[in-house]
Amino acid sequence: MTTGSSGNGSSKLGSLRLQHYLVMAGVAATVFVACLRYMPAAATGYGLSIAGPALVESSSVAVARAAAAAAPKDEPPPVVIINFGDSNSDTGGMAAANGMNIELPQGRTFFRRPTGRISDGRLVIDFICESLHTPYLSPYLKSLGADFRNGVNFAIGGSTATPGGSPFSLDVQFHQFLYFRARSMELINMGQKPPIDREGFRRAIYTIDIGQNDLSAFMHLPYDQVLTDKVPGVVAQIKYTIEALYSHDARKFWIHGTGALGCLPQKLAIPRKDDSDLDAHGCLKNYNAVARRFNALLGEACNQLRQRMVDATIVFVDMFAIKYDLVANHTMHGIDKPLMTCCGHGGPPYNYNHFKACMSAEMQLCDVAARFISWDGVHLTEAANAIVAAKVLTGDYSTPRITIASLANSTLTNNEG
């Protein structure tokens, strides 16, 4: 581990410290607000002809860019992804929304520069885009350099599924989508070409990865109340959003469950009386039980929707099983310290300090070549995201067992809008 440089003067340290508080405030403040302002959400077979098994392979960003460049300039890319979520899939939305000039070491590996992602490199959504040979998604709020021909990313770091918990909760992201879609239809009616046309919206893959911040905000409440009251409310909001998207012609859905929250260094670093709540791999049992309950209910909700939306395909991905495996079988993945943060403070066992975290002047940073699961105590490193994405792309953790490549190549069986 190396420490942040202290020889560039007090101005550099002050800049890093200020940036640290800005970044952490963008995520942590929304979780705090969620504890105070959560409002209960109202709750309210496969309809696609799947093409032959599509080849799922890892592609570099250069290949995606070359494919986009080779495509006719007057036609949109063949794959359109419309994403909703939090920092797990935020490709720069929070930075754009808050005007944050994020600096290194964010983005230090693949991009070699900060991109607004809260990681040292690519996210799972980036690897998904690469596998489909489509460029990375532009954030909806990105004012310069955005390209929405292959989709749009509404995900914002710190977002919650339940309304009232964050400035860009899932309902707000959905209304941003409606605005984006309405403006696109206006361009069509004016005889102009929008980034995504009417058929593009219909054939797009709608991805949702949200809920982690909601669950984290609830964990100060009695455990039984979280399981029986709060978790169903979060799932109900996601279910409602899928229904609302369907009513606006969405037919292909790719829904991610949440990960192993009890294995996050941020949670493990919270002071506790003893280690009785730790499982065999050193993770918090209660947090993981809540995550499993959330995933079970979300999987059930997706199954219920499949019975009603017979001309849609709704795929649920068990992210808990994938991410818990990173810890449980960490040696198989070449990881020595599965519960330790790469960019944090404090050293073993977690290298996480709530007041001196990543991006602070006192940060303790792992070597670039080191393999860690956690980047900053909450978000994954690129190395971990690559492992997670590889498993996601197999379709082995999906219900039904469909790969996202097959979903992208599928043909809609009902052309009525």
Q: List the catalytic residues.
A: 87, 376, 379
Longest Cα–Cα distance in the chain: 67
**What Å distances lie between residue 353 and 120, 216, 344, CA to CA?**
19, 17, 7
Q: If 0-12 CB within 10 Å is exposed, 13-18 middle and 19+ buried, where does residue 60 land?
A: exposed
Asked if residue 269 lies in contact with residue 222, where contact means CB atoms within 8 angstroms, the answer is: no
Give the list of residues 6+ apart from residue 404 with CB closer than 8 angstroms, or none: 56, 128, 131, 132, 205, 254, 315, 392, 393, 395
DSSP string, 249-261: T--EEEEE----G
Please give the structure tokens belonging to residue 67.
Answer: 């494919």
Please give the structure tokens belonging to residue 228.
Answer: 């029986």
Nearest-CA neighbor of 297 among 370, 181, 219, 215? Answer: 215
Give backbone dihedrals phi and psi of 201, rounded to 5 degrees, phi first.
Answer: -65, -40
